[in-house]
Homo-oligomer: A and B are copies of this chain.
């Protein structure tokens, strides 16, 4: 039996989910939903209909899991609870401080409809969260470190683009290698924001723009750049397209802890990701958890859940017997 998937929103993430479904024989794309005029949207999968989001509820009995591919700022807070009335849903809500509130609203909707909702699935939140949790449980006397990058931060790139005189921009978040090495060596350093990451910006200026002013506005921008060592490079639109069109990302979750009667033994648990495409990797995580959502729903479960609540075997199409024989 295949898991029948709907994609709700067709940006980078939606396209990533579409291609990830092709890599999983037990998953089937049923429809893509868009707020645009469906006739204007060309997707990559032959024979799969593009429908308007208004028509989603009518597809409730033909979709096992609806994957929400909108943004966390304004789309998902509305869409996830709304769609959970009709579907098992999964989203990648990534505004960490608002997760508890989002959870409560989605949980209320999913409990009422009897559906399963998985929120905040991806790599952070997602796989990184899972590793923070495991590290804390295994080594209760220890410290957590999360580093991001090297990778493109969409939010920081957007912030630069809003500066007057900027035509386009791409911002890379880069972990500070010496900080990483100190953590790996078990030194448990106290690290300031500036000591953990640097920021590198590639900016295309409009003709005649004041480059010194743009650079200064970037480097002094509160919250986004002021607390970091920031480098600004002005390049041509052609260079930006040629050298910075991909969306790589990644990072490191490290748990450094001690054990023993006198806590004399140190241990380092490190989980790292090096991703050519942030949206495609996030999509791949989501599709694996969509399989789990379907299985939880078939068991009769309901309500909102996160990666913390899902038995790992549920992510796999293989039987428990096969998993124990081949991967344990």
- Which residues on A are within 8 Å of B, measured CB to CB? 16, 19-20, 22-24, 44, 96, 99-100, 103, 120, 125, 127, 129-134, 136-141, 184, 259-261, 264-277, 280-281, 283-285, 288, 291, 306-313, 315-316, 320-321, 323-325, 327-328
Known contacts A127-B134, A139-B284; A307/B312 CB under 8 A: yes
Q: Complex Cα distance A53/B312, Å?
A: 34
Distance from A238 Cβ to chain B, minimum over Cβ atoms (Å)? 22
Closest to A310 in B: B311
Q: Are A328 and B271 in contact, with the CB atoms below 8 A?
A: no
Q: Are B281 and A267 in contact, with the CB atoms below 8 A?
A: yes
Q: Complex Cα distance A88/B16, Å?
A: 43
- Selected from B138, B285, B308, the residue in CB contact (under 8 A) with A138 is B285
Which residues does chain B contribute within 8 Å of A281, judged by CB atoms? 138, 259, 267
Which 10 A-B residue pairings sit nearest by Cβ, starting from the closest? A265-B276, A137-B315, A308-B313, A265-B277, A259-B280, A137-B288, A268-B274, A129-B328, A132-B327, A270-B272
Assuming A24-B140, A99-B328, what are 8 further A-B pairs, CB within 8 angstroms?
Answer: A44-B261, A130-B134, A259-B277, A267-B280, A269-B273, A270-B270, A270-B274, A271-B271
Closest to A25 in B: B140
Which residues does chain B contribute within 8 Å of A127, judged by CB atoms? 134, 138, 269
Closest to A254 in B: B272
Q: Complex Cα distance A274/B131, Å?
A: 15
- Selected from B125, B265, B312, B328, the residue in CB contact (under 8 A) with A328 is B125
Q: Complex Cα distance A140/B284, Å?
A: 9
- Selected from B129, B259, B275, B288, the residue in CB contact (under 8 A) with A267 is B275
Q: Are B328 and A308 in contact, with the CB atoms below 8 A?
A: yes
Q: Are A100 and B280 in contact, with the CB atoms below 8 A?
A: no
Q: Are A321 and B100 in contact, with the CB atoms below 8 A?
A: yes
Q: Are A311 and B311 in contact, with the CB atoms below 8 A?
A: yes
Which residues does chain B contribute within 8 Å of A313, judged by CB atoms? 133, 308-309
Which residues does chain B contribute within 8 Å of A311, judged by CB atoms? 308-311
Which residues does chain B contribute within 8 Å of A132, judged by CB atoms? 327
